[in-house]
């Protein structure tokens, strides 16, 4: 474990919705240059946690630290300004618009300001191409529509966009779900390349144990809103990961439960 200050750290994070406790005293620390897999069954609290880290929800209690400084995200804009970039499953891409227009999406480079500003399309095309190429996707024609891209390329576009606009912590929400095997590998390669940059912290939310083992450096497991396990990749065996992903249940216990039916 490094002695460096984590890029982002949460202490005793709690979130209640009326009488329901979604998170109960969660602690988490993410370092730059690592892929930190956040795993757990449905209802474990993963979505609530990433919504708090991305500023969509505010915690009931607990503290978020960015570079060691206590921080309060009152909105997604606050989280983005602090360098938190979230890539959701739906990617927020317009299928009919060009790769470049999707890359900038409201942050276009223009000559002049206001409604009479003229977009610098060639410069935007160059930046889009170069930024995607940095993490392994060579789009020869950034004017093509996003609808012509593979699922893996779209994920890379969303990731490259987040990094270019200042993300130091990249939250990837189920990035390989609903993709074919070849496209899944495209995304895993992109994650490895982003990790290789050395200055980006990645939080990977996934239900795929194999994918987590291929790219993750450390793990945190949630169950019913609480951390039930954490550890580095070399500290955990496959059976440990499977057990903790299932909320701590051993496969033998699950088999015994099924036998009672």
Domains of the chain by residue range: 8-91+161-259
Average pLDDT over residues 99-106: 91
CB 48 within 8 A of CB 21: no
pLDDT grade for 165, boundaries at 50, 70 and 90: very high
What is the distance between the alpha carbons of residues 102 and 98, in angstroms, rounded to a whole number? 6
Residue 196 CB: number of other CB atoms within 10 A? 10
The set of residues, in sequence order, having a beta carbon less than 8 Å from that of 242 and lying 6+ positions away, is 209, 251
Mean pLDDT is lowest, of 83-97, 103-117, 135-149, 207-221, for 103-117
Average pLDDT over residues 88-103: 88
Residue 90 CB: number of other CB atoms within 10 A? 8
**Sign of torsion over alpha carbons 233, 28, 47, 197:** negative
pLDDT digits (tens, 9 = 90+) for 186-221: 999 999 999 999 999 999 999 888 899 999 999 999
What is the distance between the alpha carbons of residues 182 and 244, in angstroms, rounded to a whole number? 28
Give, in order, the Cα–Cα distances in Å from 144 to each of 34, 159, 171, 251.
Answer: 33, 18, 27, 48
pLDDT grade for 93, boundaries at 50, 70 and 90: confident
Q: What is the pLDDT of residue 171?
A: 96
CB 222 within 8 A of CB 46: yes
Helical segments of the chain, H only? 46-53, 76-81, 99-104, 121-134, 151-164, 181-197, 209-215, 238-245, 251-259
pLDDT grade for 252, boundaries at 50, 70 and 90: low
pLDDT grade for 255, boundaries at 50, 70 and 90: low
Strands in 201-205's sheet, in edge-to-edge order, are 84-87, 169-173, 201-205, 35-39, 218-223, 226-232
Q: What is the pLDDT of residue 221?
A: 94
| Rounded to 5°, angle at Cα 29 from 210 and 207 | 25
pLDDT grade for 114, boundaries at 50, 70 and 90: low
CATH code of the domain made up of 8-91+161-259: 3.40.50.300
């Amino acid at each position: 474990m490094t002695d460096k200050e984590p890029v982002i750290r949460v202490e005793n994070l709690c979130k209640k919705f009326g009488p329901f406790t979604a998170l109960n005293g969660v602690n988490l620390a993410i370092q730059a240059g690592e892929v930190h897999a956040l795993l757990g069954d449905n209802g474990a609290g993963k979505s609530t946690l990433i919504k708090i880290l991305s500023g969509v929800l505010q915690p009931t209690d607990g503290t978020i630290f960015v570079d060691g400084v206590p921080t309060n995200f009152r909105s997604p804009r606050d989280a983005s300004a602090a360098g938190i970039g979230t890539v959701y499953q739906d990617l927020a891409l317009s299928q009919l618009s060009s790769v470049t227009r999707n890359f900038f999406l409201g942050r276009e480079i223009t000559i002049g300001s206001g409604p009479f500003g003229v977009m610098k399309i060639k410069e935007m095309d160059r930046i889009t191409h170069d930024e995607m190429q940095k993490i392994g996707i060579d789009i020869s024609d950034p004017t093509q529509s996003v609808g012509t891209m593979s699922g893996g390329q779209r994920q890379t576009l969303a990731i490259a966009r987040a990094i270019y606009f200042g993300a130091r912590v990249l939250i990837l929400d189920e990035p390989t779900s609903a993709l074919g095997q070849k496209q899944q590998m495209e995304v895993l390669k992109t994650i490895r390349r982003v990790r290789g940059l050395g200055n980006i912290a990645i939080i990977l939310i996934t239900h795929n144990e194999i994918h987590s083992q291929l790219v993750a450096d450390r793990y945190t497991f949630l169950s019913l809103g609480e951390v039930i396990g954490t550890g580095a990749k070399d500290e955990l065996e496959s059976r440990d990961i499977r057990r903790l992903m299932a909320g701590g249940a051993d496969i033998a216990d699950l088999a015994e439960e099924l036998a009672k039916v």
